[in-house]
């Protein structure tokens, strides 16, 4: 595996410095590119982490891990499939969100950090902020300022003092790094990538995901 993008966390916290410029963000994103490996698509996930945001009952029989990037258009489209899965299967499933900010998306890391900082306050705030990012993706994807992050967080109901401190914290960086490391271990090279009870599916097609969930329920 490539060198950790946050191997010198204190230095990177100073560089990011409150996420106050696209240049700093791009510098971190270039480092991120060295951390994600490609490999065999059949690698299965055995990870399940209660520290990740979860939607659905904790004891659901089917765990769906979603590796995504808030700036990824295909990830935005896949949220329709996720919503349909809950409509079809209800309490039989839970979705676990994993960050995989892609290096060619200049706001991927800041939005991933924002999601983690909302999650620090509550799971509901994470999902609300994440929905906001996906809903408004076309508007902020060309942003040259981080102002939209804080506007979206405030509109979501996040406590802003704690949120601002979290955004430049080592803990938030470490949580994003942990997800990136997990993606690297699983040889994930694109988003969205889903695992349904450990079985990989790349993309967000509802018929295929629904079929995998039904198979998992029947096992």
Q: Is residue 1 part of a domain?
A: no
| Structure confidence at residue 146 (pLDDT) | 85
| Structure confidence at residue 216 (pLDDT) | 95
User: Which range of residues forms the domain containing residue 104?
Assistant: 9-39+57-218
Q: Is residue 114 part of a domain?
A: yes
How many structural domains are present in the chain?
1
- Residues 22 and 29: their CA atoms lie apart, in Å, by 10
Q: Is residue 98 part of a domain?
A: yes
| Structure confidence at residue 219 (pLDDT) | 83
- φ, ψ of residue 218 in degrees (nearest 5): -75, -15
- Residues 48 and 94: their CA atoms lie apart, in Å, by 11
Q: Is residue 162 part of a domain?
A: yes
- Token pair listed for 195: 């695992």
Q: Is residue 52 part of a domain?
A: no
Are residues 20 and 146 in contact, defined by beta-carbon separation less than 8 angstroms? yes
| Structure confidence at residue 45 (pLDDT) | 58
| Structure confidence at residue 163 (pLDDT) | 96
Cis upstream peptide for 192 (omega within 30°): yes
**DSSP string of 143-166?**
-SSSHHHHHHHHHHT--HHHHHHH
Q: Is residue 61 part of a domain?
A: yes
Q: Is residue 44 part of a domain?
A: no
| Structure confidence at residue 96 (pLDDT) | 95
CATH of the domain at 151: 3.40.30.10
Q: What is the mean pLDDT of each run of 10 residues along the chain (219 residues)?
A: 38 41 41 42 57 90 96 96 96 96 92 96 96 96 89 96 93 91 91 95 94 94
Q: Is residue 4 part of a domain?
A: no
For the whole model, what pTM was predicted? 0.80
């Amino acid at each position: 595996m490539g060198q950790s993008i946050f191997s010198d966390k204190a230095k990177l916290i100073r560089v990011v410095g409150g996420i106050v410029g696209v240049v700093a963000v791009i510098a971190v994103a270039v480092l991120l590119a060295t951390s994600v490996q490609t490999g065999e698509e059949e690698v299965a996930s055995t990870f399940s982490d209660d520290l990740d945001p979860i939607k659905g009952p904790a004891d659901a029989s089917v765990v769906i891990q979603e590796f995504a990037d808030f700036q990824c258009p295909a990830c935005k489209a896949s949220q329709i499939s996720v919503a349909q899965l809950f409509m079809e299967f209800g309490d039989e499933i839970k979705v676990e969100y994993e960050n995989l900010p892609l290096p060619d998306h200049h706001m991927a890391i800041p939005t991933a950090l924002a999601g983690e900082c909302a999650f620090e306050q509550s799971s509901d705030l994470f999902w609300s902020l994440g929905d906001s990012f996906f809903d408004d993706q076309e508007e902020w994807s060309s942003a040259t300022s981080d102002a939209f992050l804080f506007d979206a967080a405030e509109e979501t109901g996040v406590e802003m003092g704690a949120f601002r401190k979290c955004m430049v914290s080592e803990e938030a960086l470490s949580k994003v790094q942990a997800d990136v490391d997990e993606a690297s271990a699983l040889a994930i090279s694109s988003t969205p990538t889903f695992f349904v009870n450990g079985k990989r599916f790349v993309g967000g097609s509802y018929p295929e995901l629904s079929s995998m969930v039904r198979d998992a329920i029947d096992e």
